[in-house]
């Protein structure tokens, strides 16, 4: 009797296995479709971790029975193992490398608690002392004294740094982003995203000392990008819908339609924003680092466009399952530290015990002994 029930159950599970595998495959193709080309594919990309996990559970289910059907989830999983590595890594704790190191950090401050009450200028300065870095990129800065440049200067001075740059989105409103550096910023520039989203990007050219041997010293110029791309801007009702059990009543159906619309609208805006940044990256004559809040997952058009030709600090040196967003929406990795050759990443960390809804992300990059190597 038990064998018969198992056989019947397997007849039901096998089509489910194929459906999950097909959805996983479509999800893996999502980075090839912008939000303007398809409203469905980006949402499937958002579901990639869940689909990969379901496929793994189905592989375990068939594998325990030693069934040939296990070959299907095995093939689907193997096909998308590379994309899964963007979420889950198993690197050793630290990689040894020769050469001077630069520590970089990125953090979305969530307006320093202006609306949430969680965080302040003093708490940010404390974090900077606790998680020491040579270059800090901050997004969503807000100065209650209505002088954003003065705020960024105070942040730099709190670490004994003289170099900083800021981008204030709108004159008269002290909201924007900033870069604080131990080393000279020779030039900085806002990178307007040319939309009315309220999001922004900027870059700063920084000269780092480079030791060539025999006491010889020169400067290595690197362009550091600080990004804050379009968020989903979900409403309180959206979070309640995600958090609570969906019963399917008419109100929840309308709320779910609104949620999908906001997700799709954000994907469409990030297309133009990421393309704009990509254009600047392609025209940059220096090695580059790209840090900040992309507001998008690794299996996405945004990440694919921005990471082309760059390395991901988490992939190179991270450990475990990385989730940089701490808010009520299902946790994802949306904050990144990308970099170009010839740099190498030997250490990656993120810290959740910080104010706001984002983790503090930090990486240690090694400069080669000579850029000519």
Distance between CA atoms of residues 149 and 163, nearest Å: 12
Which is it for strands 216-228 and 288-293: parallel, antiparallel or unpaired?
A: parallel
pLDDT at 372 exceeding the cut of 60: no
Higher model confidence: residue 22 or residue 37?
Answer: 22
Q: Identify the band that residue 218 occupies on the pLDDT scale cut at 50, 70 and 90.
A: low
Answer yes or no: do 21 and 129 share one domain.
no
pLDDT at position 373 is 42
Answer yes or no: do 302 and 349 share one domain.
yes
Q: What is the mean pLDDT of residues 188-207?
A: 90
Answer yes or no: do 157 and 58 share one domain.
no
Range of the domain at 23: 2-84
pLDDT at position 233 is 63
Last residue of a domain, one of 37, 55, 84: 84
Answer yes or no: do 111 and 225 share one domain.
yes
Q: Per the domain annotation, does 371 fall within a domain?
A: no
Q: Per the domain annotation, does 185 fall within a domain?
A: yes
pTM (predicted TM-score): 0.90
Those residues with Cβ within 8 angstroms of residue 6's Cβ, 6 or more apart along the chain or in another chain: none
Last residue of a domain, one of 32, 50, 84: 84
> What percentage of the chain exceeds 90 in pLDDT?
67
Q: What is the mean pLDDT of residues 254-267?
A: 70
Q: Per the domain annotation, does 89 fall within a domain?
A: no
Residue given tokens 């040579």 in the structure block: 134
- Between helices 121-130 and 148-158, what is the axis angle to 10°? 30
Answer yes or no: do 264 and 337 share one domain.
yes
Answer yes or no: do 192 and 229 share one domain.
yes
Among 40-54, 92-106, 248-262, 264-278, the minimum mean pLDDT is found in 248-262
Q: Per the domain annotation, does 336 fall within a domain?
A: yes
- Run of H or E including 54: helix 48-64
Higher model confidence: residue 124 or residue 219?
Answer: 124
In tens, the pLDDT along 353-368 reads 999 999 999 999 998 6
Q: Per the domain annotation, does 373 fall within a domain?
A: no
pLDDT at 245 exceeding the cut of 60: no
In contact, 221 and 186? CB cutoff 8 Å: yes
Give me the chain's average pLDDT, please.
88
Q: Per the domain annotation, does 116 fall within a domain?
A: yes
Answer yes or no: do 69 and 114 share one domain.
no
Last residue of a domain, one of 84, 109, 132: 84
In contact, 373 and 342? CB cutoff 8 Å: yes
Count how many domains the chain has. 2
Residue given tokens 């489910």 in the structure block: 16
Which is it for strands 88-90 and 319-321: parallel, antiparallel or unpaired?
A: antiparallel
Point out which residues pair with 349 in neighbouring strands: 362
- Which one, of 140, 143, 184, 139, lies nearest residue 161 by Cα? 184
Distance between CA atoms of residues 179 and 185, nearest Å: 9
Residue given tokens 């701490």 in the structure block: 326
pLDDT at position 259 is 67
In tens, the pLDDT along 57-103 reads 999 999 999 899 999 999 999 999 999 999 999 887 666 666 678 99
Positive or negative: CA dihedral 46, 175, 289, 180: negative
C-alpha distance from residue 160 to each of 154, 208, 232 (Å): 10, 17, 36
CATH number assigned to the domain comprising residue 152: 3.60.10.10
Answer yes or no: do 146 and 295 share one domain.
yes
Q: Identify the band that residue 329 occupies on the pLDDT scale cut at 50, 70 and 90.
A: low
Sort residue 160 into left (φ over 0), alpha (ψ -120 to 50) or beta: left
Positive or negative: CA dihedral 288, 292, 298, 301: negative
Longest distance between any two alpha carbons in the chain, whole Å: 81
Answer yes or no: do 58 and 198 share one domain.
no
Answer yes or no: do 304 and 260 share one domain.
yes
Answer yes or no: do 61 and 109 share one domain.
no
Answer yes or no: do 74 and 107 share one domain.
no
């Amino acid at each position: 009797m038990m064998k018969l029930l198992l056989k019947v159950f397997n007849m039901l599970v096998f089509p489910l296995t194929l459906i999950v595998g097909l959805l996983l495959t479509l999800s893996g193709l999502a980075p090839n479709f912008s939000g303007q080309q398809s409203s469905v594919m980006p949402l499937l990309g958002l579901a990639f971790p869940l689909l990969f996990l379901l496929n793994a559970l189905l592989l375990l289910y068939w594998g325990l029975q030693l069934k040939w059907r296990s070959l299907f989830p095995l093939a689907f999983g193997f096909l998308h193992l590379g994309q899964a590595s963007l979420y889950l890594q198993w690197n050793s704790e630290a990689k040894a490398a020769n050469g001077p190191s630069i520590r970089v950090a990125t953090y979305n401050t969530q307006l320093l608690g202006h609306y949430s009450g969680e965080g302040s200028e003093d708490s940010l300065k404390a974090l900077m002392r606790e998680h020491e870095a040579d270059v800090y990129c901050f997004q969503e800065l807000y100065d209650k004294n209505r002088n954003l440049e003065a705020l960024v200067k105070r942040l730099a001075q709190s670490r004994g740094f003289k170099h900083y740059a800021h981008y204030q989105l709108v004159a008269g409103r002290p909201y924007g982003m900033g870069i604080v550096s131990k080393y000279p910023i020779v030039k900085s520039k806002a990178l307007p995203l040319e939309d009315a989203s309220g999001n922004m990007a900027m870059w700063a050219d920084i000269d780092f000392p480079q030791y060539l041997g025999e006491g010889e010293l020169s400067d290595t110029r690197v362009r550091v990008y600080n990004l804050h791309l379009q968020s989903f801007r979900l409403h309180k009702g959206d979070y309640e819908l995600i958090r609570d059990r969906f019963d399917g009543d008419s109100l929840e159906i309308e709320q779910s339609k609104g949620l999908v619309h906001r997700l799709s609208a954000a994907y469409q805006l990030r297309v133009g924003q990421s393309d704009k940044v990509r254009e600047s990256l392609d025209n940059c004559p220096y090695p580059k680092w790209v840090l900040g809040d992309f507001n998008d997952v690794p299996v996405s058009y945004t990440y694919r466009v921005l990471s082309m030709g760059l390395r991901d600090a988490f992939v190179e040196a991270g450990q475990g399952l990385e989730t940089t967003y701490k808010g009520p929406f299902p946790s994802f990795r949306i904050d990144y530290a990308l970099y170009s050759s010839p740099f190498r990443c030997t250490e990656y960390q993120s810290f959740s015990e910080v104010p706001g809804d984002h983790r503090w992300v930090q990486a240690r990059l090694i400069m080669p002994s000579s850029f000519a190597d």
